[in-house]
Amino acid sequence: MAIVDATDENFSDSVQDGFVLVGFWAPWSRASHMTETVLKELDEKWGDQLQVVRVNVDRCQAVAYQLGITSIPALVLFKEGNPFKHITDSQPKSFLDSILQKYI
C-alpha cells in the first residue's frame, strides 16, 4: 500500500481498518526525516498487512494533542481504530520490524 498523509479531518477514517502504523513528524525535524526512510521500508515490507499513515504535527495539531504526542518523531500502532502501542524517538528498522512481528 502507499503511505497515506492524514489530516485532522480524515485521521479517524485513516486508522479504522486493520493494523495501521502512524508516524508523527514535522518538516523541520531531522529525526523525522530519518524515520520517514524507515517508514517507506516498512511500507514496502509490510504493506499487504499494514497501512502506514503520516501526520504532520504542524498541520494536524488536534490529532497529535488527542494522542498525547509531545515529541517527534513518534509512532503509534493502531488496530481497528484503537491505539495500542506508542514508540518514541527515531528507531532502527530492525527494532520496528520486531514490534510488528510481535503484533501482526
Three-state secondary-structure class, residue 92 = coil
How far is CA 50 from each of CA 9, 39, 58, 67, 70, rounded to the nearest angstrom?
21, 11, 25, 20, 25
Classify domain 4-103 at the CATH topology level: Glutaredoxin (3.40.30)
| In the chain, domain spans | 4-103
**CA 21, CA 13: separation in Å to the nearest integer?**
14
Question: How much is the pTM?
Answer: 0.94
How many angstroms from the chain centroid is the CA of residue 75? 4
Q: Which residues of 34-55 are buried (b: 16+ CB within 10 A; e: fewer)?
A: ebbebbeebbeebeeebbbbbb
**Tens digits of per-residue pLDDT, 17-63?**
999 999 999 999 999 988 999 999 999 999 899 999 999 999 999 99
- Cell 493502531, residue located: 78
